[in-house]
């Protein structure tokens, strides 16, 4: 990919021509039906944001036991596939392109949500409570996965990838970040196995590698990305050997010809970022860690990310609060603030589909009145 710091310039991702270098990052928003089927709210939400160069849709579970929280999406039944087809059709009609993130929660789950005992590399529970349909509850002790469980889960990821393509997605992103199942196999505090999938670094990277390889075999490597979060402690994971761990994982994957590598909360000044960029031969999506969500800060972070060698820039909350983010950044227009109270677990259109675009921006007085009505 040609190097540029102009994030509004056209780009390419394998077979895809992208109108800009901006990617809408996957954001779990809990707006699916109880069985994981995408809803009409989601059709509207993603179609509103179709001007992104690429949309990576929120984590979708490849099997029932992989569900994390209530009302998240899934991709393991015909109903799920049909629901996602409505989303991709609407986005494509609006000129957009989509990948789907495949996410298995592992120990980040609960029987009160799924009716099933969570599975994980080892019987090490989440060190905090977890939201269920009945509210927050203490985490359940997961069942250590057997060799048969591992083989079945790998097959489930491959099947989910095939369903995603059937549903109209251009490709899928394998979620190996943020303390989810694949990351639990990578991290030494959650993987205490002494078999072929635990112990040494080479064994701990095996599950994530085999999932990615199976997905690539199922739909073609050029349709597959992988997301990683080196050194992240989200959901209680801990890596004591981050540098060597990701060197081993990416060393196994870089010959596959994957569509991209997606780095969560990328810091272009960090040593591990520079090492990964130097070592990864393909497209790198950088995800800057933003605290300031102003137009100037978001634009500056995107330019710095590209200047540091990223090929595309993934943004989460800026796209959430601004369905017309690309136009706002192009014009230098102010960005809508994120309304965190509606971010997750609340359902409905509020804080999801009602963020105003520039041509329907309400006055400050009307926004105050709207917020007051919702609080009441």
The pLDDT of residue 361: 62
**Is the pLDDT assigned to residue 282 strictly greater than 80?**
yes
Instruction: State the pLDDT confidence band at 64, using cuts at 50, 70 and 90.
Output: very high
Q: What is the pLDDT of residue 1?
A: 53
How does pLDDT run across 158-181, given as a tens digit for each residue?
999 999 999 999 999 999 999 999
What does the pLDDT read at residue 265?
86
pLDDT-based confidence at residue 345 (cuts at 50, 70, 90): low
Is residue 343 predicted with pLDDT exceeding 80?
Answer: no
Backbone φ, ψ for residue 154 (5° rounding): -60, -45
Q: What is the mean pLDDT of residues 342-349?
A: 71
Identify whether the C-beta of residue 205 lies closer than 8 Å to the C-beta of residue 249.
yes
The average pLDDT across 282-302 equals: 96
Range in 43-47, 178-182, 371-375 the model is least confident about: 371-375
pLDDT digits (tens, 9 = 90+) for 109-162: 999 999 999 999 999 999 999 999 999 999 999 999 999 999 999 999 999 999
Separation CA 227–CA 285 (nearest Å): 9
- Tell if the pTM clears 0.75, that is, is over it: yes
Average of per-residue pLDDT across 313-328: 97
Average pLDDT over residues 201-207: 98
Note the pLDDT of residue 158: 99
Examine the pLDDT at 306 and tell me if it is beyond 70: yes
Predicted local confidence at residue 290, as pLDDT: 94
Residue 376 has pLDDT above 60, yes or no: no
Phi, psi of 335 (to 5 degrees): -100, 150
Overall residue count recorded for the chain in this entry: 376
The strand ranges marked E within 141-183 are: 143-144, 171-176
Cα Rg, the chain, nearest whole Å: 20
Q: Provide mean pLDDT across the span 313-333.
A: 97
Share of the chain above pLDDT 90, in %: 88
Question: 135-137 and 130-132 as β-strands: parallel, antiparallel, unpaired?
Answer: antiparallel
Cβ-based neighbours of 222, under 8 Å, separated by 6 or more: 14, 15, 171, 257, 258, 259
Among residues 2, 108, 70, 12, the alpha carbon closest in space to that of 347 is found at 70
pLDDT, tens only, 207-258: 999 999 999 999 999 999 999 999 999 999 999 999 999 999 999 999 999 9
Tokens, residue 297: 């800060």
pLDDT of amino acid 371: 40
pLDDT of residue 109: 98
The overall average pLDDT reported for the chain is 93
Quick one: pLDDT at residue 270? 83
Band of residue 370 on the pLDDT scale cut at 50, 70, 90: very low
271: confidence class by pLDDT, cuts 50, 70, 90:
confident
């Amino acid at each position: 990919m040609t190097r540029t710091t102009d994030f509004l310039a056209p780009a390419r991702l394998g077979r895809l021509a992208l109108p800009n270098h901006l990617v809408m990052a996957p954001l779990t928003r809990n707006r699916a039906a109880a069985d994981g089927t995408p809803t009409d709210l989601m059709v509207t939400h993603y179609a509103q944001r179709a001007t992104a160069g690429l949309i990576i849709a929120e984590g979708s579970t490849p099997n029932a036991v992989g569900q994390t929280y209530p009302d998240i999406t899934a991709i393991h039944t015909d109903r799920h596939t049909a629901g996602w087809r409505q989303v991709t059709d609407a986005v494509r009609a609006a000129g957009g392109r989509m990948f789907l993130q495949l996410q298995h929660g592992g120990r980040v789950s609960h029987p009160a949500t799924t009716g099933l005992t969570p599975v994980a590399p080892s019987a090490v529970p989440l060190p905090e409570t977890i939201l269920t349909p009945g509210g927050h509850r203490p985490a359940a002790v997961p069942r250590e996965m057997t060799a048969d469980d591992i083989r079945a889960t790998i097959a489930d990821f491959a099947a989910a990838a095939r369903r995603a393509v059937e549903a109209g997605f251009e490709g899928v992103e394998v979620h190996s970040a943020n303390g989810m199942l694949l990351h639990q196999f990578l991290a030494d505090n959650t993987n205490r196995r002494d078999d072929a999938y635990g112990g040494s670094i080479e064994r701990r990277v095996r599950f994530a590698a085999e999932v990615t390889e199976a997905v690539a075999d199922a739909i073609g490597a050029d349709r597959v990305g992988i997301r990683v979060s080196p050194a992240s402690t989200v959901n209680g994971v801990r890596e004591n050997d981050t540098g060597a761990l990701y060197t081993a994982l990416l060393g196994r994957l870089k010959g596959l010809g994957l569509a991209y590598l997606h780095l969560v909360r990328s810091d272009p000044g960090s040593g591990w970022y520079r090492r990964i960029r130097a070592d990864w031969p393909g497209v790198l999506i950088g995800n800057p860690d933003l605290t300031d969500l102003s137009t100037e800060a978001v634009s500056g972070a995107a330019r710095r990310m590209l200047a540091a060698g990223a090929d595309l820039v993934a943004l989460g909350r800026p796209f959430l609060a601004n369905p017309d983010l690309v136009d706002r950044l192009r014009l230098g227009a102010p960005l809508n603030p994120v309304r965190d109270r509606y971010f997750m677990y609340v359902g409905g259109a509020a804080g999801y589909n009602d963020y105003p675009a520039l041509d329907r921006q309400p006055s400050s007085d009307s926004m105050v009145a709207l917020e007051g009505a919702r609080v009441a």
